[in-house]
């Protein structure tokens, strides 16, 4: 019999996360505007989770002309008497609960980002741990703190009040009716992963647990990761070639792992957000556009200045096909309020979503002439599935008999297929000689 957690995510979760577009400083106005668009344009296609990222508890110097923070870290954070983060009055003057209520009215599940551990401010003030006589000073791990975000310090899970602190955090979030938490700086700390999982069990509410970042993910810690629902497998993903390469590398690593190990039915390897549309909108470009080196304070909350996704259409098709065939959670990252039509057509393409929600991670069948051949079997019908022929070169490439030989060892070449992005039908054998544009993909549904 499955336990409660195992019922939460039987398919790869789909949603939106604010980080790619709003960094660490989304506010009430932009949250509510995005929420309404999400309900109208994305929910009908199965997108369900609406998540605001880091900084919802922080205080920034705000640019009154834009409502966004200036390009500098926060100067303060907000905590309650028990050392738990609470919403920033300047970003969310009415708190998060009215927004969460609106999300639930619309049928949307709402989530927030957390940094692993106890707030550094709680340690400095030595706040009391709720329900105990212990204080923040007693449970703080002074050695293990995040090198890239100074909001928190680790929790000593060997102390009896360490778990009780995490229980109190989840008790607070459950009281707000939170449905999803993305916990960052945690994949290197399996004891604290388990601490959050136990706290979710104790809080009495179904809450999805997503683990980040991907750079510290280690297959030796899988026994702890499996207590969550999502696990980042990549470093931060953006609209650049390096990110595309990270995606393929993670896919190869974890598809190999999954083929050799038993993975829980509700656990998903997460290749990070989808940076389509407008990104880094909080950070307008400087007057001098020839500025090449970004000051470090600009990078605290994203990568680069406000722009439209830099991927070509070919790269966009490759990117979303990766996510679809790898059964990675689909979390849009760009600004929903002005999403361009082409990006929207890819994000809501029913064949792409069907492959993703099939929930099986594709495997690499082989490579020839810099064309990767990936295959995702259908969970419902072993005679159908999906193929991806990825051209890894910048120049155009052709499907050859050698490529079809790789395919033919696993799928009959007499099979009829749909070319998903071209919306055409043919037989696999008839692909011989077909051109694949540079950095593009043939995404095929096997009938």
- Nearest alpha-carbon partner for 51 in 7, 102, 100, 11: 100
The CATH fold assigned to 5-357 is TIM Barrel (3.20.20)
* 305 neighbors 286 (Cβ within 8 angstroms): yes
- Nearest alpha-carbon partner for 173 in 102, 106, 97: 97
- Nearest alpha-carbon partner for 18 in 56, 51, 57: 51
* 239 neighbors 297 (Cβ within 8 angstroms): no
Residues 6+ apart with CB under 8 A from 197: 5, 209, 227, 228
The pLDDT value recorded for residue 332 is: 98
**76 SS3 class:** strand
Q: Virtual CA dihedral for 173, 175, 180, 182, nearest 10 degrees?
A: 0
The pLDDT value recorded for residue 92 is: 97
The DSSP call for residue 128 is: B
State whether CATH 1.20.80.10 applies to domain 363-446.
no
HSE-CB at 110 with a 13 A cutoff on CA atoms is 23
Beta pairing, strands 152-155 & 385-391: unpaired
Radius of gyration of the chain (CA): 22
Q: How far apart are CA 42 and CA 63, in angstroms?
A: 30
pTM passes above 0.75:
yes
The pLDDT value recorded for residue 296 is: 47
Beta pairing, strands 76-77 & 416-419: unpaired
Q: Where are the domains of the chain?
A: 5-357, 363-446
The pLDDT value recorded for residue 382 is: 81
pLDDT in tens, the chain (447 residues): 345 455 799 999 999 999 999 999 999 999 999 999 999 999 999 999 999 999 999 999 988 888 888 767 789 999 999 999 999 999 999 999 999 999 999 999 999 999 999 999 999 999 999 999 999 999 999 998 898 898 999 999 999 999 999 999 999 999 999 999 999 999 999 999 999 999 999 999 999 999 999 988 999 999 999 999 999 999 999 999 999 999 999 999 999 999 999 999 999 999 999 999 999 999 887 765 554 445 544 455 788 889 999 999 999 999 999 999 999 999 999 999 999 999 999 999 999 999 999 999 999 999 999 999 999 999 998 889 999 999 999 999 999 999 999 999 999 999 999 999 999 999 999 999 999 999 999 999 998
Residue 105 burial (CB count, 10 A): 9
């Amino acid at each position: 019999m499955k336990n409660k957690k195992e019922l939460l995510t039987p398919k790869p979760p789909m949603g939106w996360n604010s980080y790619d577009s709003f960094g660490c400083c989304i506010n009430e106005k932009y949250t509510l505007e995005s929420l309404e668009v999400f309900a109208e344009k994305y929910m009908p296609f199965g997108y369900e989770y609406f998540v605001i990222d880091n900084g919802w508890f922080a205080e920034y110097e705000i640019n009154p002309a834009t409502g966004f923070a200036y390009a500098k870290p926060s100067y303060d954070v907000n905590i309650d008497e028990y050392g738990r983060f609470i919403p920033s009055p300047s970003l969310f003057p009415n708190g998060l609960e009215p927004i969460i209520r609106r999300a639930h009215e619309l049928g949307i599940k709402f989530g927030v980002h957390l940094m692993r551990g106890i707030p550094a401010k709680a340690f400095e003030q030595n706040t009391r741990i709720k329900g105990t006589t212990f204080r923040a000073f007693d449970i703080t791990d002074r050695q293990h703190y995040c090198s890239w975000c100074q909001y928190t310090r680790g929790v000593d899970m060997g102390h009896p009040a360490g778990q009780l602190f995490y229980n109190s955090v989840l008790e607070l979030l459950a009281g707000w009716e939170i449905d999803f938490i993305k916990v960052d700086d945690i994949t290197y700390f399996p004891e604290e992963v388990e601490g959050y999982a136990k706290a979710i069990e104790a809080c009495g509410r179904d809450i999805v647990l997503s683990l980040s970042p991907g750079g510290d993910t280690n297959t030796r810690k899988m026994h702890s990761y499996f207590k969550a629902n999502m696990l980042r497998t990549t470093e931060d993903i953006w609209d650049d070639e390096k990110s595309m390469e990270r995606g393929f590398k993670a896919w190869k690593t974890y598809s190999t792992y999954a083929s050799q190990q038993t993975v829980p039915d509700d656990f998903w390897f997460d290749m990070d957000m989808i940076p389509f549309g407008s990104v880094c909108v909080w950070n307008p470009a400087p007057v001098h556009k020839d500025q090449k080196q970004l000051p470090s304070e600009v990078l605290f909350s994203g990568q680069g200045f406000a722009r439209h996704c830099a991927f070509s259409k070919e790269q966009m098709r490759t990117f979303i096909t990766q996510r679809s065939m790898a059964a990675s959670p689909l979390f849009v990252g760009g600004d929903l309020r002005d999403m361009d039509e082409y990006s929207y057509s890819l994000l809501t393409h029913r064949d792409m979503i069907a492959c993703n929600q099939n929930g099986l991670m594709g495997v690499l069948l082989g490579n020839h002439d810099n064309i990767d051949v990936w295959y995702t079997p259908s969970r419902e019908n072993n005679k159908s599935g999906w193929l991806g022929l990825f051209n890894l070169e910048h120049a155009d490439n052709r499907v050859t008999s050698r490529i079809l030989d790789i395919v033919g060892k696993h799928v009959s070449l007499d099979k009829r297929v749909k070319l998903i992005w071209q919306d055409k039908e043919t037989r696999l054998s008839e692909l011989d000689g077909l051109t694949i544009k540079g950095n593009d993909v043939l995404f095929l549904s096997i009938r």
